[in-house]
Chain A
Amino acid sequence: MGWRLALRPYVLIVPALLLTCGILYPFGLGLYYTLFDFSASKPQPDMVRFENYETVFTQEAFWNSAWVTVLYAVGAAAVETVLGVAVALLLHRSTIVGRVLEKILILPLMIAPVIAAIIWKLMLQPSVGVINYLLKPFGLGGVQWTDTPTGALLSSIAVDVWVYTPFVAILALAGLRSLPTSPFEAAAVDGAGWWYTFRRLTLPMLWPYVLVAVIFRFMDSLKVFDIIYALTEGGPGDSTVVLQIRAYLEAIRFQRYSFGISYTIVLWAVVYLAAMVLVKHLGKIQRKAAEVK
């Protein structure tokens, strides 16, 4: 009977693991492919070992994509964090306005990012889009939003911000509501001002929650695909070709399968390293926050 008991958790987990292996297998296969020069023009590939990776790292296009990806991820995560925390703080005051609006906070998050990008693409059309129409009275009627390199990058970040700010706000709000009340009461008795309380109490205690949101948002933005695909397809020029878009162009559009996968493997490694560093940092922050409490 003893061994059956010991085995039970494994038996219950095996089906989930089998499905997981169904994903691990293609992942391993992809890793294996990158050692070959497998492409549509070369269906019988030769083993080239690490040549694909060498090409990736010596290509200017890769470094451009890496730079664009970092700009996008840092920009989106930073704006979402500041805006999300601000919205959470405002909602936490729980006025009537806040209580009504809180119910619909989640809506943009429920729209597929690709659909959000389509929506914004229609609104940002230079000649017939509603945004330029609304800006016309301010003398800004002809902005070429997605047709200039900077504009395209900023526009795609704006879509990301539109979709994901509620995510940060929800986590921050959950955090705010779980904070202990006694330190705040003590601070109020001592006559501490709003800014002082915010900097010395709210922010340090809230930071672990915010950081979780930042980690999720930063990781996800590093591998952005759908928003850029629908909004700019990487253009104009190479200005918004983030790494997953480059991988898509190489592997699917130009059918250089091995080479395209090498790109995603490099991206995967970067995301993993970033996750490790951030999670380690999260542990430190959580210990610090516990001390403040």
Chain B
Amino acid sequence: MTIKKRLLGWLADAALILYFVFALFPIAWMVILSLKPTNELFSTYFSFSPTLDGYRTVLGDSEGIPFVRFFVNSLVVSLGAVALSLLVGLPAAYASARWRFKGSENLMFTLLSFRFAPELTVIIPLFVLYQKLGLFDTYVGMVWVLQLVTLPLIVWIMRSYFADLTPELEQAALLDGYSRKQAFFKVAIPLVKPGIAAVSLLAFIFAWNNFVFPLILTSNEAQTVTVGALSFLGGDRPKYNLTAAAALVSVVPPLLLALTIQRYLVRGLSFGAVKS
């Protein structure tokens, strides 16, 4: 019995490791591919002389693709979208967690329902609209549409954080002579700070990873890395090492964030889904 059990245990571990090989191999392979010199791309597979030339080319604009600018663009529009969503999303989340009022559930569901709408439904009218208003290929235009990704996420997750706070804490503050505003900023906000940090990073990652909005609503000036990484696949000769390097550079921010705040991310992801 114990031998059988131990054997089953090993089998389970082996199955787990097999899944993680499937999950991690593509990332590892990108690292290998990105270090290959151009002339060894199609020859020997695992033995080659590694070089950083791929990264130099990608980061040095020498293929005519301003990848560093795309990277900065991604930073600007993702941070912008998160900041704006926090600004309007935190009060909304707080209000909907604290007070049951007419239509509150419907309003919240409407916010969430945008997650289910096909992006292209709004993008095409926005494309026409942006051309007219001069917002096409601009930071303002990109920040504006990335709300679609970041705002519902922030409102829904922060709502459950606020709901977990007992109202007594703020009531005590009110009795101490705080105004409602002070109670919100000096009592409620500091208590949910970890939640705000986690949801901001999650929203940042989602905004950073978005592809459809920049694909259609930018062309060059405000283009982001997710679209930019594809451009290395074009051209007459396939430049696999450059594509791999570009792909890796573009996943560095989300992966670093994910590794540092892994525990909170998991909580955020499951909150957003389970509590809705």
Chain A residues with a Cβ under 8 A of chain B: 6, 8-10, 12-13, 15-20, 22-23, 26-27, 29-30, 33, 83, 86-87, 90-91, 93, 95, 97-98, 101, 103-116, 118-123, 125, 128, 130, 133, 162, 165-167, 170-171, 174-175, 209, 212-213, 216, 219, 223, 225-226, 229-230, 243-244, 247-248, 251-252, 257, 260-261, 264-265, 267-268, 271-272, 275
Q: How far is the CA of A214 from the CA of B262 in the complex (A)?
A: 22
Q: How far is the CB of B192 from chain A (nearest CB, A)?
A: 15
Contact check: which of A12, A174, A216, A271 meets B94 at CB < 8 Å?
A12
Asked whether B118 lies within 8 Å of A107 as measured between CB atoms, the reply is no
Interface string of B183-227 (1 = CB under 8 A from A): 000000000000000000000010011111001100000000010
Which residue in A104, A116, A166 is a CB contact (below 8 Å) of B26?
A116
CA distance in complex: A110, B119 (Å): 20
Given the known interface contacts A90-B16, A118-B230, A120-B26, the answer about A16 and B117 at a Cβ–Cβ threshold of 8 Å is no
Q: Give A213 Cβ to nearest chain B Cβ, in Å.
A: 7
Q: Is the CB of A264 within 8 A of B121?
A: yes
| A12-B95, A107-B255, A225-B119 as given contacts; A97 in contact with B16, CB under 8 Å | yes
Interface SS of chain B: helix, strand, loop or mixed? Answer: helix
Residue from A101, A171, A247 in contact with B120 in the complex, judged by beta carbons closer than 8 Å: A247
14 A-B contact pairs sorted by A residue (CB < 8 Å): A8-B95, A13-B91, A18-B88, A87-B16, A93-B12, A107-B258, A108-B27, A112-B209, A115-B209, A162-B23, A212-B274, A223-B116, A225-B212, A261-B121
Partner of A268, one of B13, B121, B151, B180: B121
Closest residue of A by beta carbon distance from B87: A15
Q: Is the CB of A16 within 8 A of B88?
A: yes
B125 x A101 contact (CB < 8 A): no
User: When the two chains form the complex, which single residue of A110, A113, A133, A257 contacts B255, counting CB atoms closer than 8 Å?
Assistant: A110
Q: Inside 8 A of B138's CB, which chain A residues have their CB?
A: none
Q: A101-B17, A170-B270 are in contact. List 4 more A-B contacts (CB 8 A).
A: A12-B95, A33-B125, A260-B124, A261-B121
CA–CA, A171 and B266, complex, Å: 9
A26 touches B233 (CB 8 A): no
* Complex CA distance for A179 and B166, rounded to whole angstroms: 25
Query: Could you tell me if B209 and A111 are in contact, using CB atoms closer than 8 angstroms?
Result: yes
- Scoring A119, A120, A272 by chain B CB atoms within 10 A of each residue's CB, the highest score goes to A119
From 42 to 87 in chain B, residues with beta carbon under 8 angstroms from any chain A beta carbon are 42, 45, 84, 87
Q: Is the CB of B120 within 8 A of A174?
A: no
* Alpha-carbon distance between A248 and B119 when the two chains are bound, in angstroms: 10
**Cα distance, A261 to B96, chains bound together (Å):** 33
Known: A12-B94, A118-B230, A257-B128. A104 touches B20 (CB 8 A): yes
**Interface check B153, CB cutoff 8 A:** no
> Chain B residues near A97 (CB, 8 Å)?
13, 16-17
- What is the CA–CA distance of A29 and B133 in the complex, to the nearest angstrom? 15
CB distance from B48 to the nearest CB of A (A): 13
Instruction: Say whether B258 contacts A101, CB under 8 Å.
Output: no
Write the nearest CB–CB distance from B244 to chain A, whole angstroms: 6
Q: From residue A36, how far is it (CB to closest CB) to chain B in Å? A: 12
Q: Which residues of A contact B119 (CB under 8 A)?
A: 223, 225, 244
